[in-house]
A and B are shown apart, each in its own frame.
Chain A
Amino acid sequence: MNNEHKRKERIDRGIKVRSDGIFAISSLREMMYLAGPRILLIAGLLLLPLVLGLAPYWKRVINIMCVYALLAISFDFLANCVGLVCLGGSMFIGLGGYFAAIFNVYLHLPVYLSIPAAAAAGAVVSTILILPCLSLRGVYFAIVTLMYPLLFTRVIEAFNILGGSNGITGLDSFPGQNPENYIIIGILLAVVFGLRRLLKEDIGLVMHAVKDNDQSVRASGIDVARIKALAVLIASFIGCLGGAYLAHLYMWAGLSLFALDFSIIPIAAVTIGGGGTLFGAVVGCFILVPLSEFLRVFGTFRIVLYCAVLTGFIVFKSEGLMAWCTRKYEQFERWVEV
């Protein structure tokens, strides 16, 4: 094809301009155009357990998928909305899981209380731990979050606290497979839409501004470190929620909650799905996690594969799948003569 005298032109679709830009919705079709992707996500998630009802093993995979999606969302939120790269997602999972175990096994709280309580406690603890590096710019945050999960593993192993290398067993389980599925799906949906809403509010704007130009935020009289701390609190709450759920799902909290998988899969998912959209993180997890179930036989080689995919996407297609899909959905492309 001779492209020399042609260029690609992208124009917004008419329906997009009417329903989104001008916001003059006049027909059902336009309403569906707006609500379609959201309904697709909600309905898809809610129907997934029913569709996979015939394969009990894959019903369990849904749970893990959603936990990873929560982590990916928290990473995406921190990295692309506030500008903090968290390399230790497993820290949130581990803290949430261990707190859930403490609340449930030692303090005998019921499941539905121990999960939110563990998430809150884990969020507070991780925020306090991360606090010293929040007033600094640059790589400090990435470095410190990278160190914590490794440190926790060593400390628990070395001092033989909290069950040592055996972990804490005997957590209460959920009443059945369906509640198991729908609790985490409900949490995931609430988190996705809640966070998207939050980012549209004033505080979300400020967070974006912290990423783009922190000096101007400071000049506006807003404390940057406090905004960052708030963002870390929210993100770690989401992560710890996943961790607490996971501990109850396995009825066990142990050192493998600090495993590297929890740090690297969310990052890979966000990169593949497309950063900054939150939906992209979910989509990325729904591609990667089932894939990782197929690759289970390869052991740690899976991590190598993720890293390869991740690096490939970062270098060659850094916008991610979600941005590509959004473009196709909202615009049409054509070749025009120059």
Chain B
Amino acid sequence: MEIIVYGIINSVTLSLMALGFTLVYSISRLPNFAHGALYITCGYIVWICINALGLGYFPSIVLGIAATSAIGALIYRLIILRIRGMEISEIIATYAIGLAIIEGLRWGGLRGSTFTLPSFIAGSVEIGGVAVDYQRLFVLVFGVVVFAALNVFVKFTKTGLALKGIAQDERAAMMLGIDSDRIALISLALGSGLSAFAAVLILPLGSIVVETGYNVLIYSIAVSIIGGLGSWGGAILASFIVGFAQILTEVFLSTHYQMVISLLAIIVTLLVKPSGIFGKQKELDDRV
């Protein structure tokens, strides 16, 4: 029972982390290596808002998410836009930005376990004999809400449909008058916002440390590759696979193996089915 409950919660956590990364990649084909950095940035902004500026909890959360989205948009507008299409430069630039943010925060004093966010409501309930605190339930609930909202957004709004169009066929979408740069900007802002949202939900479970930035990046990459780069459904399914695998290793082996398991999963995926679980249409494209 414990395995099932915590497995589900861990899986939803992973898919929340990975959603931003896989969204940006699926729409603008941009591997956003700054994803983990944006995640940790949001946590830090919220912490500053609460502790240094004395704002309330919920205003700070809104401010944090908005600020992180703005940072994502700025990164696109100022840097990525100029090197769009040059694959090597794109990878190096986003990697450099991510490193700069993470190491900048480390230098700026984000060390140790003194930085924590309060949980929404303290306390815990019992589900089937397993004690689960409210924050983990919030992760679960909001995770499902975000997926639903994102689906509605993509299917029923004009911007959402434009996003989908660019993701499917960029040239055809451009011929129909969709501005590819604007959509890419929106996608990066949205992806950053999603990573910020995940940070706000997940960070209260632990403390804000810079290493989390790297972990989030690695886990989201693992989930995206296993699910098939750019496929949302695949990412969700993959996060359940990785999530349960992690919980199982934690219960039966030890916590140390968690990272090894995700990497092993990536390598097995690349060997057996390189385009991931749901990456069917790209299978020919990605193979050399």
Contact = CB atoms under 8 A, between A and B. Distances in A.
B31 A139 contact: yes
Contact of B100 (A225, A271, A304, A315): A304
A297 to B, nearest CB: 12
Interface string B78-113: 010011001111011101110110011011000000
Given A147-B266, A300-B107, A308 B286 contact: no
A70 B5 CA distance: 50
A301 B104 contact: yes
Q: Which of A83, A143, A267, A298 has most chain B Cβ within 10 Å?
A: A143
A325 B262 CA distance: 46
Q: Which of A158, A214, A311 has most chain B Cβ within 10 Å?
A: A311
A7 interface: no
A216 B83 CA distance: 26
B178 interface: no
B287 A136 contact: yes
Interface in A274-322: 298-301, 303-304, 306-308, 310-311, 314-315, 318
Contacts of A143: 31, 221, 225
Interface in A124-180: 132-133, 135-140, 142-144, 146-148, 150-151, 154-155, 158-159
Given A85-B88, A151-B259, A311-B79, A140 B270 contact: yes
Given A140-B225, A154-B256, A315-B83, A85 B92 contact: yes
Nearest to B255: A158
* Chain A interface extent, by class: 35 or more
A144 B264 CA distance: 11
B260 interface: yes
B218 interface: yes
Interface residues of B, number: 41
Contact of B83 (A140, A147, A308, A314): A314
Q: Which of B31, B96, B97, B274 has most chain A Cβ within 10 Å?
A: B96
Given A142-B31, A146-B33, A315-B79, A132 B225 contact: no
Q: Which of B103, B221, B266, B285 has most chain A Cβ within 10 Å?
A: B103
B131 interface: no
Interface string B198-233: 000000000000000010011001100100010000
Contact of B270 (A136, A306, A315): A136
Given A139-B229, A308-B100, A150 B288 contact: no
A224 interface: yes
Interface of B: 31, 33, 79, 82-83, 86-89, 91-93, 95-97, 99-100, 103-104, 106-107, 214, 217-218, 221-222, 225, 229, 256, 259-260, 263, 266-267, 270-271, 274, 285-288
18 contacts: A79-B88, A80-B88, A85-B87, A132-B270, A132-B271, A135-B288, A136-B288, A143-B221, A146-B218, A147-B218, A150-B214, A154-B259, A155-B256, A225-B288, A271-B92, A299-B107, A307-B97, A307-B103
